[in-house]
Structure 1
Amino acid sequence: MLRIKKLDIFVLKSFLLLFAGTFFICLFIFMMQFLWRYVDELVGKGLEMDVLAQFFFLSALTLIPLSLPLAILLAALMTFGNFGERYELLSMKAAGIPLLRIMRPVVLFCVFLGVVSFYFQNIIGPKAQKDLWTLLVSIKQASPEVDIPEGVFYSDIEGYNIYVKHKDRETGMLKDILIYNFSDGFENAHIIWGEEGSLELTADKKHLYLHLYNGEQFENLRSQSVISRNVPYRRESFREKHTLIDFDTNFETVDGNFLNQRSDIKNMREISQAIDSLSTYVDSVGRAMHKDMMQTTYRQPVMNRVDSIKAEKAKLTMINTDSVFNSLPSAEKLKVLTDTERRISSLLSEWNMKTFMTRDADNNILRHKSDWHKKITLSLACIIFFFIGAPLGAIIRKGGLGMPVVISVLIFVLYYIIDSGATRVGRSGEMNVVLGTWMSTLVLAPLGAFLTYKSNKDSVVFNIDVYAAFFRKLLGLRLSRHLFKKEVIIHTPDYANDVLLLDTLIGECEDYARTHKLLGPPNYFRVFTNNEHDDVIAGISQQMEGLVEELSNTKDTILLNYLNNYPFLSVKAHKSLFDNRWLNALCGLVIPAGLLIWLNIWRYRVRLDKDLKVIVKTSRDVQNRIRDIYDNDKQQ
C-alpha cells in the first residue's frame, strides 16, 4: 500500500514550486521564439486583439509538450541542487533513506506529466495545430493596414496608386497628395491632386474615407469613336472633395480543410490510417509503373529491323542484338543510335517525373511515421529528463539559477540537436525513420540511468577536485603548502626532539641523493621490469610530513613560512608507471609510448633530486630558526 509521508510532501512541494515557475518561463521563451518566426506576418495587418489572443493561445497549446521536458529538467536540477547545497540531501541519506526513495514522489508526478504530454500531443495538439496553421494562413491573406509612406507610390489598395510627399505625424494630415484611380481601366484613369488631405477608415471597415482640400481632378472621357485620335478629358478644380474607396479589412478565417494532408494535425489513429492509405496508393502506383515499364520500356529497337518472318521460321528463342546491329549498314546504324538516344532521353524524362510522384508519397509516409513515434518519444522525454536532472543536481549540489540553468540549456541543446538531426535524416530516407525518431531517447536514456546509478552510489563523477588531482598527476603539477598560524594550539612543539629528527631527515636525504645519482638517465630495462616501490623515499616523505605537522603548532610566523617551503614528494613516479610488472613491460615494448614514459620518469628523478636539496636547505633553516627561538627565550 502506498503511503504518503511528510518527506514525500516536502520533496514534492519543493519540486512543484520550482516547476511552476520554470514551466511558464520555458513556455514563454518558446512562444517568443515562435512569434519571432512569424512576426512579419502579424505586423501591419491591423489585427484585432481577439485574433492576437487566439494566436498566442493556440501557439501555447502546441508548445506545451516541448516545454514540459525542459521545465522538468531545470526544476529537478534546482530542487535536488538546493537539497545538496543546504545539506538536506545528506541528512536524508544519513537517516538511511536512499536517493531513489527520496525521488519516488517526483518520479510519479513526472510519469503523470508524461501522460498529460501524450494526451496533449494526441488529442489537443492536433486540433490546436490545425487551428493555428489555419489562423496563420488567414493572417497571411489578410489585407494590410493602410500606412502610406512618404515619397513612395503606395499600391496595396487594389486599383489605386497613392503618392504622399509629406505626412504630419501630430495631426495626421497628408501634404501634396497624388492619386491614380485605375478602377475603371487604365485608359479611363482618374487623377486627383490635392494640396492636403486626410484618410480614415469607416466604421464598418469596408471603405476608406478620403478628404482632399485645394486640388484638381483629371478624368479621361470615353471616346465615341474607336478610331478617334483625340481623347477628351475633364478637368475639375475643387476647394474640398470627399470620396470613398473600397477597402475591406475585416479578418476572415479561411477553410482549413486544405491542411488535412499534414501529419502534425492528426492523432495516432488518423496517422495509422493515413499510412495505410498512402502505402496502398504507393503500391498501386508502383504496380502500374512496373506494368507500363514491362510493356513499353524493355523493347528492342533493333528487333524491328529483323525480318519477323525469317525469325518466326527459324524459331529463334534468343537474338544476339550485337550481331544484328553489326550486320546493318552505316546509315542504318546511325539511325538506330539516333532513335535509341531519343528514346532514352524520353524515358529518362518520363521516369524522372514518375520518380518525383513516388518520392513525394514516400516522404509523406516517412513524415507520418515520424510524427506517430514523436508523440511517444516526447512524452518519455519528461521522465528521462527528470532522471538526468535530479541525479545531476544531487551530484553537483548547486541550487539557484546559476549552474542549473547553464547545465539544463546545454543538455537540452544536445537533445534538440540529436533529435532534430536524426529525425531529419530519418525523414529523408537515409536512415530508418523509427531509429531516427528514437535516437535522442536511445542516447539520453542510458545517460539518465548512469547518472542515477552514480548519484545513488554517492559517486564523485562530477567532483572537480578529483579531475584536478588527476590532471596534476598526469602533468606533474603539485600543490604548494599553505600553513597559517593557529588560533588555538593544544600541543606545543618539542623543539629539542624536532632538531634531532631534522638532523636524521637531512642525513637520509643526502645519503639517498649521493647513492642513487638521480640526475643521470635511468636504466630503460629496469624501468619497465621493476614494479617495486621506493620505501626509502616513502619513509622520507612520511618523516617530513610528521615534522611539518608537529611544527605547524608553533606560534612563530617565520618558522611557519619556512615550513611552507617543504615540497610534496611523489614516492613512486620516479620508479615505474604501473604496479603490474607485465603491464610495465608491455608499455616498454611499444617504442614510442615507452620512450615517452622513460623520459617522463627521468624528469621525475631530476625533480626528486631538486626536492631533496630543498628539503635539506629548508630543514637547516628550520633548525636555525629554532635555535633563535631558544636564544630569545633565554634572553627573556
Structure 2
Amino acid sequence: MLRIKKLDIFVLKSFLLLFAGTFFICLFIFMMQFLWRYVDELVGKGLEMNVLAQFFFLSALTLIPLSLPLAILLAALMTFGNFGERYELLSMKAAGIPLLRIMRPVVLFCLFLGVLSFFFQNVVGPKAQKELWTLLVSMKQKSPEVDIPEGVFYSDIEGYNIYVKHKDRKTGMLKDVLIYNFSDGFENAHIIWAEEGKLELTADKKHLFLHLYNGEQFENLRSQSVISRNVPYRRETFKEKHTLIAFDTNFEMVDGNFLNQRSDIKNMREISLAIDSLSMYADSVGRSLYKEAMDRTYKEPPLTARDSTRLAEQKITHINTDSIFNSLTAAQKYKTLNSTRSRVASLASEWSLKSFTTQDVDGRIRGHRSDWHKKITLSLACIIFFFIGAPLGAIIRKGGLGMPVVISVLIFVLYYIIDSGATRVAKSGEMNIVLGTWMSTVVLAPLGGFLTYKSNKDSVVFNIDVYAAFFRKVFGIRVSRHIFKKEVIIQTPDYAEDISKLEKVSAECADYAATHKLLGPPNYYRIFTNNTPDDAIAGISRQIEELVEELSNSTDTVLLNMMNNYPFLSVKAHKSLFDNRWLNMLCGVVVPAGLLLWLNIWRYRVRLDKDLKVIIKTNKDIQERIRQKLL
C-alpha cells in the first residue's frame, strides 16, 4: 500500500511551487513565439477584445502539451538543484533514503502530467486547433483599418489608389488628396484631386464616406466601339463632393470545414480512419496507373501476314533492334532518334504529372501517421525530461534561475532540433515515419536513464575537477604548489633531522639522473616491454611530500615560499604507458601510434631530469635557509 509521508509532501510541494511558475513562463514564451509568426497579418485590423482573447485562449490550449516537458525539465532541475545546494539531498541520503525513493512522489506526478498531456492532445487539442486555425484565417481575411500614410500611395482599398500629401492628426483632415478609381477598369479610370478631404467609416462599417473639397474630377468616356480611336473625357470642377466606397470591416468567422483534411485537428481514432481511407484511395489510384502502364506497354501493333510468314520461315524468335538500327541510313537514324526522344520526353512529362497525385496522397498519409505517434511521444517527453532534469539537479547541485535555466534551454533545443529535423525527414519519405517521429525519444531516453543511474550512485560525472585532472594527465599539465603559513602549529619541525633528509633526497636524485641518462632517447623495445614500476622515483616523490608536510609547520615565510618550487613528480609517465605488458606491446607494434607514444615518453624523461635538478637546487636553498635563520 502506498503510504504518503512527510518527506513525500515536502518534495512534492517544493516541486509544485516551481513547476507552477515555470509552466506559465514557458507557456507565455511559446505563445509569444506563436504570435510573432502572425503579427504582421493581424496588426492594424481593429480586432475587438473578445476576438483577441479567444485567439490567446485557443493558442494557449494548443501549446500546453509543448510547454509541459520544458516546464517539468526546468522545475526538476531547480528543485533537486536547490536540495543539493542546501545540503537537503545529502541529509536525505545520509538517513538511508535512496535518490529514487526521494524522486518517487514527483515521478507519480509527472506520470499524471503525461496522461493529462495525452488527453489534451487527443481530446482538447484537435478541437482547439481547428477553432484556432479557423479564427486565424478569419482574422487574415478581415479588412485592415484605414490608415492612409503621408506621401505614399495607399492601395489596401480594393479598386482604389489614394495619395495624401499631408494629414492633420488633430482634425483628421487630409491635404492635397489624389484618388485613382479603377473600379470600372483600368482604361476607364476616374481621377480625383482635392485640396482637402476627410474619410469616415459609416455606422454599419461596410462603407467609407469620403468628403472632398475644392477639387477636380477627370474620367474617360470610352466608346463601346473597339475601332474608335478618339476617346472623349469629362472634366469636372467642384467645391464639395461626397462619395461612398465599399469597404466591409466587420469581422466574420469563416466556415472551418476546409480544414478537415489537416491531421492536427483529428484525434487518434479519426487519424486512423483517415489513414485507412487515404491508403484505399492511394491503392486504387496506383492500380489504375499500373493498369494503364501495362496496357500501354503491351499494346503493340500486330504483324502483317507477310511479316509473320517470313519470320516463321527464317525461324526468328526475337528481333535484334540494334542490328535493324545499324542497317538504317543516317537520315533514318536521325529521324528515329528524334522521334524516340520526343516520345520518351512526352511519357516522362505525362507520368511526372500523374505522380503528383500519388505523391500528395503518400505525403498526407505520412503526415497523419506522424501526428498519431506525436501524441504519444510528447506525452512520454514529460516523463523523460523529469528523469533528465532531476538527476542533473542532484549532480550539479545548483538551484535558482542561473545554471538550471541554461542547461534546460540547451537540452530542450537539442530535443527540438532532433525532433523537428527527424520528423521533417520522415514526412518527406526519406526515413521511416515511426523512427523519425520517435527519434527524439530514442536519443533522450537513454540519456535520462544514464543520468538517473549516475546520480543514484553519487557519480562525479559532472565534477569539473575530475575532467580537469584527466586532461592535465593527457597533455602533461601540472598544478603548482601553494603552501601558506598556518595559523595554528601543533608541532614544530625537527630542522636538524630535516637537513639530513634533504641531503639524502638530493643524493638519490643525483644518482638517479646519472644512472638513467634521462636526456638521451629511451630504448624503444624496453619502453613497450618493461612494465615494472619505478620504485626509485616513487620513493623520492614520497620523501618530498613528507618533507613538505613537516616543513609546512614552519613559521618562516621565506622557507614556505621556497617549498612552492618543489614539482609534483610523475612516477609512471617516463617509464611506460600502461601497467599491462601486452597492451604496451600492442601500442608499440602500431608504428605511427607507437612512435608518437615513444616521443611523448621521451618528453616526460626530459621533464623528469629537469624536475630532479629543481629538487636538488631547492633542497640546497632550504638547507642554507635553515642553517642561517633557524639554527
Q: Which TM-score bucket, shorter chain as reference?
A: over 0.9
Instruction: After superposition, give the CA deviation of every residue in 1:128-159 in whole Å (9 maximum; x if it has no partner).
Output: 11111112212222112211122233232233
> Contact conserved, 1:223 with 1:232, CA < 8 A, in 2?
no
Distance 1:435 1:557 in 2: 67
Tell me the TM-score normalised to structure 2 length: 0.94
SS in 2 for 1:264: coil
Answer yes or no: is the 8 Å Cα contact 2:275–2:368 preserved in 1. yes
- State the 1:243 CA deviation: 3.5
Q: Which residue is 1:12 aligned to?
A: 12
* 2:105 is aligned with 1:96: no
Report the secondary structure of 1:575's partner residue.
coil
Q: Which residue of 1 aligns with 2:267?
A: 267
- 1:536-566 CA distance string (max 9 Å, x none): 1111111111111111111111111011111
Which residue does 2:493 correspond to in 1?
Answer: 493
Deviates more, 1:537-546 or 1:516-525: 516-525
Structure 1: unaligned runs, 5 residues or longer: 632-636
2:413 is matched with which residue?
Answer: 413
Does the CA-based 8 Å contact 2:216-2:235 persist in structure 1? no
Decide whether aligned partners of structure 1 residues 508 and 157 sit closer, same or farther in structure 2, where only a CA change above 3 A counts: same
Residues 515 and 306 of structure 1: CA distance in aligned 2, closer, same or farther (over 3 Å): farther
> Which residue of the partner structure matches residue 359 of structure 2?
359
Q: 327-336 vs 92-101, which deviates more?
A: 327-336
String of CA shifts for 1:420-462, please: whole Å, max 9, x gaps. 1111111111111111111111111111111111111111111
Q: Is residue 114 of structure 1 aligned with residue 130 of structure 2?
A: no
Check the 8 A contact 1:325/1:333 in 2, yes or no: no
Mapped to 2, the partners of 1:326 and 1:241 lie a distance apart of 83
Within a 5 Å distance, the mapping from 1:323-402 to structure 2 comes to 325=324, 340-402=340-402
Partner of 2:150: 150
2:61 counterpart residue number: 61
Alpha-carbon spacing, 1:243–1:416, altered in 2? closer, same or farther (3 Å) = same
AA at the equivalent of 1:607? R
Q: Which residue identity does 1:320 align to in structure 2?
A: I
Shift of 1:127: 1.1
Query: d(CA) in 1 for partners of 2:161 and 2:576?
Result: 90
Conserved 8 A contact 1:485-1:555: yes
1:186, 1:540 → 2: CA distance?
Answer: 102
Is 2:238 aligned against 1:237?
yes
The alignment partner of 2:444 has SS state of: helix
Q: Is the 8 A contact 2:127 2:265 kept in 1?
A: yes
SS of the counterpart of 1:213? strand
Counterpart residue type for residue 430 of structure 1: E
| 1:46-445 to 2 correspondences below 5 Å | 46-183=46-183, 190-218=190-218, 231=232, 233=234, 235-238=236-239, 240-300=240-300, 303-304=302-303, 307=306, 310=309, 318-320=317-319, 322=321, 325=324, 340-445=340-445
TM-score with structure 1 setting the length: 0.93
Per-residue CA deviation, residues 75-102 of structure 1 (Å, 9 max, x unaligned), is 1111111111111111111110101001
CA distance in 2, matches of 1:513, 1:171: 100
Q: CA deviation at 1:307?
A: 4.6
Contact 2:480 / 2:567 at 8 angstroms: preserved in 1?
yes
Within 1, Cα distance between the matches of 2:4 and 2:540?
A: 59
Q: Which residue of structure 1 aligns with residue 583 of structure 2?
A: 583
- Structure 2 contact 123–267 (Cα < 8 Å) conserved: yes
Q: Give distance in 2, aligned partners of 1:630 and 1:223.
A: 125
In 1, Cα distance between the equivalents of 2:518 and 2:208?
Answer: 99
> Hey, what's the Cα distance between the residues in 2 that align with 1:169 and 1:275?
58
1:228 Cα deviation from its structure 2 partner: 11
Q: CA 1:534–1:339 in structure 2 vs 1: closer, same or farther (change >3 Å)?
A: closer
SS at match of 1:15: helix
Structure 2: how far apart are the matches of 1:323 and 1:519? 79
Cα deviation, residue 23, structure 1: 1.2
Q: C-alpha distance in 2, partners of 1:626/1:306?
A: 127
The alpha-carbon distance between structure 1 residues 145 and 500, as it changes in their structure 2 partners (threshold 3 A), is: same
Counterpart secondary structure, 2:97: coil
Q: Equivalents in 2 of 1:31, 1:490: separation in Å?
A: 66
1:634 aligns to what? none
Deviation at 1:398, TM superposition (A): 1.3
Q: State percent identity of aligned pairs.
A: 78
Contact 1:27 1:60 (8 Å CA) reproduced:
yes
Q: How does 1:544-583 map to 2 (within 5 A)?
A: 544-583=544-583
- Displacement of 1:611 in angstroms is 1.1
For residues 47 and 555 of structure 1, do their structure 2 counterparts lie closer, same or farther at Cα, with a shift above 3 Å needed? same
Q: How does 1:584-599 map to 2 (within 5 A)?
A: 584-599=584-599
Distance 2:367 2:333 in 1: 50
The secondary structure found in structure 2 opposite 1:430 is coil
One-letter amino acid matched to 1:233: R
SS at match of 1:263: coil
CA RMSD of aligned residues (A): 2.6
Distance 1:225 1:519 in 2: 110
Which digits, 9 at most, give the CA deviation of each residue in 1:297-327, with x for residues without a partner? 33335x5577576489889995426389469
- How far apart are the structure 2 equivalents of 1:472 and 1:563? 22
2 CA distance for matches of 1:282 and 1:144? Answer: 42
Q: Which amino acid aligns with 1:50?
A: N
Distance 1:374 1:69 in 2: 13
Shift of 1:392: 1.1
1:461 pairs with 2:478: no
Change (3 A) 1:402 1:511: same
Rounded to whole Å, the distance in 1 between the matches of 2:258 and 2:472 is 65
Q: Which residue of 2 aligns with 1:23?
A: 23
* Alpha-carbon offset, residue 585 of structure 1: 1.0
Q: Which moved more, 1:354-363 or 1:617-626?
A: 617-626
Does 545-554 or 227-236 show the bigger shift? 227-236
Aligned to 1:38: 38
Partner of residue 479, structure 1 = 479
8 Å Cα contact 1:460-1:466 kept in structure 2? yes
- Once the two structures are overlaid, the 10-residue window that deviates more, 199-208 or 393-402, is 199-208
Letter in 1 for 2:200: E
Q: Tell me the distance in 2 between the aligned counterparts of 1:438 and 1:96.
A: 38
**Distance change >3 Å, CA 326–CA 558, structure 1 → 2:** closer
CA distance in 2, matches of 1:158, 1:262: 31
* Shift, 1:474, TM fit: 0.8
Aligned partner of residue 438 in structure 2, secondary structure? helix
Shift of 1:181: 3.6
Amino acid at match of 2:9: I
8 Å contact from structure 1 (residues 154, 162) kept in 2:
yes
CA distance in 1, matches of 2:584, 2:190: 99
Contact 2:69 2:385 in 1 (8 A): yes
Structure 1, 202-211 or 568-577: larger mean CA deviation: 202-211
Query: Within 2, Cα distance between the matches of 1:155 and 1:447?
Result: 56
Counterpart amino acid of residue 419 in structure 1? D
Distance, in Å, in 2 between the alignment partners of 1:248 and 1:602 is 88
1:212 deviates by: 2.7
- Tell whether the 8 Å contact from 1:384 to 1:444 is kept in structure 2 after alignment: yes
The secondary structure found in structure 2 opposite 1:541 is helix
